[in-house]
Amino acid sequence: MREGEWRLVAVRGATTVDEDEAGKVRERTAELLETMMERNDIREDAIISIIFTATADLVSDFPAVAARTIGLSQIPLLCSQEIPVAGSIERCIRVLMHTYTIKTRDEIRHAYLRGAMQLRTDLPE
């Protein structure tokens, strides 16, 4: 692909909550989505879909509710449960956002916030 051409990319992100409370799940998920969009200059109309996973200890709300509350209600959203691997991070919400951008893959800035920062210490902040 040539520089400056629109391309479909996937942007990753994750965050954690301190307790399984619906308001906290929505707040942290909204913060994560807004960070992902801001870091990568993503406009709502460029987003194709968003997949959310949550660890089994988060049952108070769907992370997708947060997307709707920040105006992403026209985008296909899907929630699923994260694989319960022994010793993995607790109360963690992960996001996979499919979007169009003119950025190259190496220009994409994934967002790992709060306790989820340990998932990808190889990435720049």
CA distance 8 to 24: 31
pLDDT tens digits for range 6-58: 999 999 999 999 999 999 999 999 999 999 999 999 999 999 999 999 999 99
Number of domains in the chain: 1
Query: Looking at the domain assignment, is residue 82 inside a domain?
Result: yes
Query: Looking at the domain assignment, is residue 102 inside a domain?
Result: yes
Give the domain CATH number at 57: 3.30.1330.40
Instruction: Give the three-state DSSP class for 111.
Output: strand
User: Taking 90 as the threshold, does the pLDDT of residue 69 lie above it?
Assistant: yes
Query: Looking at the domain assignment, is residue 2 inside a domain?
Result: no
Q: Which domain holds residue 97?
A: 7-118
Query: Looking at the domain assignment, is residue 112 inside a domain?
Result: yes
> How far does Cα 92 stand from its chain's mean position?
11
Global pTM reads: 0.92
In this structure, are residues 13 and 94 in contact, taking their beta carbons and an 8 Å threshold? yes
